[in-house]
A and B are shown apart, each in its own frame.
Chain A
Amino acid sequence: MLIDREKCIGCEECFPYCPVGAIRLAEGGSVSEIDQAECVECGCCYKRSSVCPVDAIYMPKLEWPRCLREYFSNPDVKHPSTTGNGRGTEEMKTNDVTGRFGRGEAGVALELGRPGVGTAFRDLETVAMAIARLGVEFESQNPVAELMADPKTGKFNDAVLNERVLSAIIELKVPVGKLRDVLAVVKEVATKIDTAFSLDLISRVDADGTTPVVAIAQAAGFSPRPNTKTNVGLGRPLFKEA
């Protein structure tokens, strides 16, 4: 996002709308400017809030790789690689019809930058490379996947590493038997990044209403929060498991 200095009246009305605090008064103090290194192109100061009384804020044409900021930060913009909005995938929301997570499998997702911190793809590379050493497969439908130069090692395309976004998700699926190892790596790599992340764990529900993953998470030192997302199995055609 940019601010037209000819139009801006320096009223500061837009300041609080920026999720990463990138708007400030320019030198001299009569007009505002947006720190281009910090701006994640989310559009909060622009059309979503329509806060500027003189329409001084505008979106320039974003070239690669800066356009990634908008794809990952503005939920109204579709990712060209997935043609979907948002930062993730259908994941467990449609698992009853897609069968993406079967019995004996666990889904793990780390949403870096969330809540309220933001992140750079350099942080995602650090996490992905640590987890990749376990031989896991990253979710190919997640828009992060196309940014990896080598999905086997978790190495990202160097050109994107400094791009900043509100959040982005490292998403993978592992056999339940490997979950403990993955969570151990997650715990370790959490100390090596400068951002925060929200952690997800997905499992099919067994016939007795339990899941095999909670005990594993607890043994690895993670405490599931009291609120969950539950797919209640009303989708059709129901995926038929082998």
Chain B
Amino acid sequence: MTHTLHRQGSVEDLHEDYVLLLRTSRFVNHEGSEKTMQQIWEVISHYREDLVNFGNHNPNWDGGELYDLDALQKAKSRIIHVVFRDREKIKACLKEIKERDFGISTVVSGLCGETEKICAEIGISPHTVNYSLGIHGNTGRVPQGEILEIHTMCGHSMVATNLIHHMVNEINKGKITCWAAAKNLSRMCDCGIFNTYRAEKLLRSMTTDRSR
């Protein structure tokens, strides 16, 4: 129900975090959709240089390297996830998907106001919205700050908070760079929705590593 919805961070940070999700419905249009989903991957490959992360329903146990845009154009995908850091790039991709009229349900996860503007700019009327009403209950047990921001980039909680702390320690000891640490964390997220770019920035702010 929630997956990409509850990503935490300031509005400024979330300006660099958009997820495009396309999926078939097993009740309506999944049958015979294989070729269409491959064609959508082909469109996404036009933005190859702009993608932060991507994946389908298959496990991503290889640091994202398992996902190859060329291979995905030949694979079976029930779901397509693509992470962008740039509003204009996701807009261009969405526009092309709209124009190709694939007929696959499409969801934009990101800042609400920007999503509304993007839709208006390319002539789309939003159909349904899922709002996050925040975190409740025993919030004293919830991780805080940048740890929470990184942790919530994987909707299935596969990126353990202890692992984030561990990576911070490893960076501070000079054993690993922020980018390598972000990639290590991203490996744990099967769906390819982890924003490696944002994670690296956050790790940089949490550590003494200023190299790139």
Enumerate chain A interface residues (CB-CB to B < 8 A): 15-19, 21, 42, 44, 47-50, 75-76, 84-98, 101, 107, 109, 111-117, 142, 166-167, 169, 171, 186-187, 190, 193-205, 209, 211, 213-214, 217, 222-237
**Size band of the interface chain B makes with A:** 35 or more
Kindly provide the distance from the CB of B29 to the nearest chain A CB, expressed in whole angstroms: 6
Known A-B contacts A115-B135, A226-B112, A227-B7; the reply to A88 vs B105 at CB < 8 A is no
* Chain A residue with Cβ nearest B140: A196
* Chain A residue with Cβ nearest B132: A225
Residues of chain A with a CB closer than 8 A to B133's CB: 199-201, 217, 222-225
The docked-state distance in angstroms from the alpha carbon of A184 to that of B118 is 34
Interface centre among A93, A111, A204, A214 (most CB of B within 10 A): A93
A228 x B151 contact (CB < 8 A): no
Q: Which residue of A94, A114, A201 is within 8 Å of B157 (Cβ)?
A: A114
Kindly provide the distance from the CB of B183 to the nearest chain A CB, expressed in whole angstroms: 13
Kindly provide the distance from the CB of B30 to the nearest chain A CB, expressed in whole angstroms: 10
Residues of chain A with a CB closer than 8 A to B104's CB: 234-235
Q: Which residue of A19, A231, A233 is within 8 Å of B160 (Cβ)?
A: A19
Residues of chain A with a CB closer than 8 A to B163's CB: 16-17
Residues of chain A with a CB closer than 8 A to B127's CB: 95-96, 204-205, 230-233
B109-135 vs A, CB cutoff 8 Å, 1 = contact: the mask equals 111110110010000111111111111
B107 x A229 contact (CB < 8 A): yes
A190 x B136 contact (CB < 8 A): yes
Known A-B contacts A171-B1, A232-B108; the reply to A75 vs B129 at CB < 8 A is no
Known A-B contacts A116-B151, A227-B110, A227-B112; the reply to A217 vs B131 at CB < 8 A is yes
Kindly provide the distance from the CB of B190 to the nearest chain A CB, expressed in whole angstroms: 5
* Chain B residue with Cβ nearest A197: B137
Known A-B contacts A86-B3, A88-B1; the reply to A230 vs B136 at CB < 8 A is no
Interface centre among A90, A195, A201 (most CB of B within 10 A): A90
Q: Which residue of B1, B7, B109, B152 is within 8 Å of A91 (Cβ)?
A: B1
Residues of chain A with a CB closer than 8 A to B2's CB: 88, 109, 111, 114, 169, 198, 200
B21 x A93 contact (CB < 8 A): yes
Contact of B207 with A by CB under 8 A:
no
Kindly provide the distance from the CB of A115 to the nearest chain B CB, expressed in whole angstroms: 5
* Chain B residue with Cβ nearest A113: B157
* Chain A residue with Cβ nearest B137: A196
Residues of chain B with a CB closer than 8 A to A213's CB: 131
Contact of B162 with A by CB under 8 A:
yes
Q: Which residue of B27, B126, B135 is within 8 Å of A233 (Cβ)?
A: B126
* Chain B residue with Cβ nearest A106: B131
Residues of chain B with a CB closer than 8 A to A44's CB: 158, 160, 188
Closest 6 interchain pairs by CB? A236-B103, A233-B127, A235-B105, A16-B166, A88-B1, A94-B25
